[in-house]
């Protein structure tokens, strides 16, 4: 197990973290919402412990490397695979899982079927890889081999994580997590309370934020 980096969530995950031998399924109404905020602590930790890339298959947004680096994940550790066709995404995901140098795989697979997911789940088990498969919210009613299935719901400055499948007793209430990293949340709060460019403290200026990268968007920061 690898601690997810959010103590409130680790307390409810079997073994106290993300499994290293099977698929974790993340379900969202909109692709990309809050994924990095949820996964960055664990990805930063695993890349510091091991050499090799984190592979992104079919990511909906281009990751903002400076934002990732500020939270411990160097941009050069990311390997982005562009694949539009469902079959190509499945092939790229399975090949990444079987590559000895890869430390984690994030795959956006909205059209994957249960047999496809079972094959990826088995590959993750055999290679002991971190595998996160991201699918639309409607997929929660479909069968899945994932031992852990989570629904991500963002509301304002909070992120709700609903565990709809895990080993052990069900969790009735969602787990509330901050929607933004602590540093970004402080800057956003300061920006809301002051005009852009006005000094918050001596020598500190509230910056403007770009919105064309995944980590710069309030819903995906």
Question: Residue 177: beta bridge partners?
Answer: 159
Residue pair 116/93 in contact (Cβ under 8 Å)? The answer is no
- Read off the tokens for 90: 């499945």
Q: What is the pTM of this model?
A: 0.81
Out of 25-34, 72-81, 203-212, which region has the weakest mean confidence (pLDDT)?
A: 203-212
HSE value, Cβ hemisphere, 13 Å, CA-based, for 122: 6
Domain 7-179 carries which CATH code?
3.40.50.300
Residues 6+ apart with CB under 8 A from 42: 2, 3, 4, 5, 17, 18, 130
Residues 6+ apart with CB under 8 A from 203: none
Question: CA torsion sign, 195 to 36 to 108 to 176?
Answer: negative
Q: Residue 169 pLDDT more than 90?
A: no
Q: What is the mean pLDDT of residues 94-103?
A: 96
Tell me the pLDDT tens digit for each residue of 48-68: 999 999 999 999 988 888 888
Q: What is the mean pLDDT of residues 128-157?
A: 90
Q: Residue 216 pLDDT more than 60?
A: no
Tell me the pLDDT tens digit for each residue of 66-96: 888 988 999 999 999 999 999 999 999 999 9
- Label residue 186 by pLDDT band (50, 70, 90): low
Percent of the chain whose pLDDT exceeds 90: 62
Give me the residue label for tokens 């680790």: 10
Query: What pLDDT, on the 0 to 100 scale, is given for residue 136?
Result: 95
CA distance 33 to 36: 8
**What is the domain partition of the chain in residue ranges?**
7-179
Strand, coil or helix: what is 211?
coil
- Label residue 15 by pLDDT band (50, 70, 90): very high
- Label residue 154 by pLDDT band (50, 70, 90): confident
Q: Residue 193 pLDDT more than 80?
A: no
Residue pair 140/153 in contact (Cβ under 8 Å)? The answer is no
DSSP 129: -
- Label residue 187 by pLDDT band (50, 70, 90): low
CA distance 4 to 18: 6
CA distance 18 to 206: 35
């Amino acid at each position: 197990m690898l601690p997810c980096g959010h103590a409130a969530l680790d307390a409810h995950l079997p073994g106290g973290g993300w499994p290293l031998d099977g698929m974790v399924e993340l379900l969202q109404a909109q692709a990309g919402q809050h994924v990095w905020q949820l996964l960055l602590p664990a990805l930063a930790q695993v890349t510091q412990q091991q050499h090799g890339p984190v592979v992104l298959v079919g990511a909906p947004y281009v990751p903002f490397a400076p934002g990732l680096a500020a939270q411990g994940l160097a941009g050069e550790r990311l390997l982005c695979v562009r694949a539009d066709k469902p079959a190509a995404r499945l092939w790229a995901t399975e090949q990444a899982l079987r590559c000895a140098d890869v430390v984690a795989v994030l795959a956006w697979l909205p059209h994957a079927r249960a047999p496809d997911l079972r094959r990826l789940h088995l590959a993750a088990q055999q290679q002991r890889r971190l595998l996160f498969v991201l699918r639309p919210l409607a997929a929660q009613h479909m069968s899945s081999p994932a031992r852990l299935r989570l629904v991500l719901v963002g509301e304002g400055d909070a992120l709700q994580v609903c565990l709809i499948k895990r080993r052990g007793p069900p969790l009735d209430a969602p787990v509330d997590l901050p929607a933004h990293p602590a540093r970004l949340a402080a800057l956003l709060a300061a920006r809301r309370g002051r005009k852009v460019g006005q000094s918050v403290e001596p020598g500190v200026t509230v910056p403007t934020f770009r919105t064309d990268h995944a980590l710069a968007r309030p819903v995906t920061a």
